[in-house]
Amino acid sequence: MKQNSVTWRLFLLLVSLAVIASCADEQAGKPVEGPIIEQASEHVDDYTGWEHLARDVPAWYEDAKFGIYFHWGVYSVPAHHSEWYSRNMYNPDTTIYTHHVETYGPLSEFGYKDFVPMFRAENFDADEWVDLFVKAGARFTGPVAEHADGFSMWDSDVNTWNAMDRGPGIDVVAEMGRAARARDLKFLATFHHMWLWGWYPTFKDPSEADAGDPAYAELYGPVVSEDAWRHRKGAARPDDRFNRRFTDKVLEVIDGYHPDMIYFDSRFGHIGIDYRKEIVTRFVESLEEGDREGVILYKHLDLPDYSGVLNFEKARMNRIADRVWQTEEPITTFAWNYYEGMELRPAADILHAMIDVVSKNGIYLLNIGPRADGIIPDEQRDILLAIGDWLGRNGEAIYGTRPWYTYGEGPRKDAEQVEPAEGEKKPAYHELHYTAEDVRYTTKGETVYAILMGQPDGGSTVTLTAFADDSAPDVVDVALQASGRGLEWSLAPEGLEVGLPDDLPREMAVVVAVRTRATLTSGP
């Protein structure tokens, strides 16, 4: 984690610029209607004096590869459009505003606060959820501790608008932490409430919208300008009072629930640098006090690179990274929470995304969207169980692996290396589809795992061109990972030719385990 800091920092700057560009193309990368917003930090902070906070990435995290978390809260009640409902319901420029007024009445009479008593979570069962995540193959899990809406999902003394004191009467963070640790999963808590500065139009008259009523300032946040609400460039950033409250909420979770992982959404860089340093320092201290190793996940340039792991949202690397990184993607093709009519991504597409990320030295975090009543819909369960079923047979090619000298080959890789022509856009994350011609590689010990991203024809011969390179080690034998069944193979100038059996079992991805004479990684 500590080496090549300048090079990595330059890379992060380029990533931030690319993300900003992609945000502009996709309305800030969020399922939101209305003005395009600015997501990333407008400047690069000076992190001099943070060096003592440098931490190596824990081996358990590098080995875990796959985690599941969930957007679930008051915004799950209207179940309409996206988790940005709480913001866009106040914006007359959006169809969400029209839907809200037609469905619930004027904003002065029915605001976001009025959804809170409707968030009852009567069927929530943390043990059942975590059992499902274990079956899906996840190695870490946790909740969105507080979304941009200002509603805390733990028993908070800082914020009375919390899930224990209002709504369901459940300390969701505590329940998920207990259930995760009972099953030896690492515990994650994510924080998105930096967006609360300007999430609601608190400048409006209460007769127009309840967000402007000072009686509800604890939920809706401080009074801000319309420029701040519209997230316009140059608008005032959070003041000390907001920064202090933001920080106190995070510290309350760190000290009270001891997460192994904490995650910060975009705009964390808008929080004062001294407050960010206080958070990182306290998290590091909490790990040391508990003799634990943990991870901080951040976006853009919001923290010094040596203090945490860079997290992409709906985006991925197109190369093997020198440092471990993470990407998060939702189970849907659009939003992050449950909403009526949601379109789910096929299990195979999600699995292929995970494999692609792992092959490039990444970790994959999948988000699901439970209903407001605490039910995880069957359609989402089926996807998770399909992924877990595959991992049960082929997990050796994922867990505890490290990258090879190349991450893969095939048409999808070739496309990744080519910039789109002028006027064309790169496909969205959920439009990245693979075939059996696409191969991704991982390694462990003396084995190279060649993962065919689809179902090749039985009886066909697959040529793994990466083995034609001088970097490739000598091959000892080749087998199907799922069954251990040996395969016919030969080395040719074009690469390693592998004969597949006529009765090749159907898989979302076929793993060919290639045992070599070389020790390729120091992983387990």
Task: Select from 337, 364, 397 the last residue of a domain.
Answer: 397
Number of domains in the chain: 2
Percent of the chain with pLDDT over 70: 91
The answer to whether residue 353 sits within a structural domain is: yes
Q: Say if 522 falls within a structural domain.
A: no
What is this structure's pTM? 0.93
Per-residue pLDDT, 519:
83
Shared-domain flag, residues 378 and 502: no
Residues 355 and 491 in one domain: no
Predicted local distance difference test score (pLDDT) of residue 524: 46
Range of the domain at 258: 5-397
* Residue after which a domain boundary falls, among 368, 397, 426: 397
370 and 488 part of one domain? no
The arithmetic mean of pLDDT across residues 163-192, rounded, is 98
Q: Do 323 and 435 sit in the same domain of this protein?
A: no
- Give the residue from 458, 464, 497, 500 showing the smallest Cα distance to 481: 500
Residue 195 and residue 231: Cα distance in Å, rounded? Answer: 10
In this structure, is residue 237 part of a structural domain? Answer: yes
Q: Residue 473: which CATH number? A: 2.60.40.1180
Q: Are residues 391 and 413 in the same domain?
A: no
Q: What is the pLDDT of residue 335?
A: 96
480/365 same-domain check: no
Q: Residue 444: name the closest of 512, 495, 515 by CA.
A: 515
Given this model, what pLDDT does residue 361 score? 98
In terms of domains, do 229 and 158 share one?
yes
In a domain, 248, yes or no: yes
Which of 397, 428, 457 is at the close of a domain?
Answer: 397
Assigned token pair, 417: 């290396």
- Above 50 in pLDDT, residue 232? yes
**Centroid of chain to Cα 166:** 28
194 and 71 share a domain? Answer: yes
188 and 101 share a domain? yes
How far is residue 193's CA from residue 173's CA, in Å, rounded to a whole number? 15
Q: Which residue has the tokens 């690397």?
A: 317
Report if residue 521 sits inside a domain.
no
Q: φ, ψ for residue 83 (rounded to 5)?
A: -70, -10
Report the candidate in 232, 282, 252, 241 with the shortest Cα–Cα distance to residue 191.
252
Looking at the structure, tell me whether residues 435 and 374 fall in a common domain: no
Q: Rounded to an integer, what distance in angstroms lies between the CA atom of residue 450 and that of residue 408?
A: 8
Q: How confident is the model at residue 424 (pLDDT cuts 50, 70, 90)?
A: confident
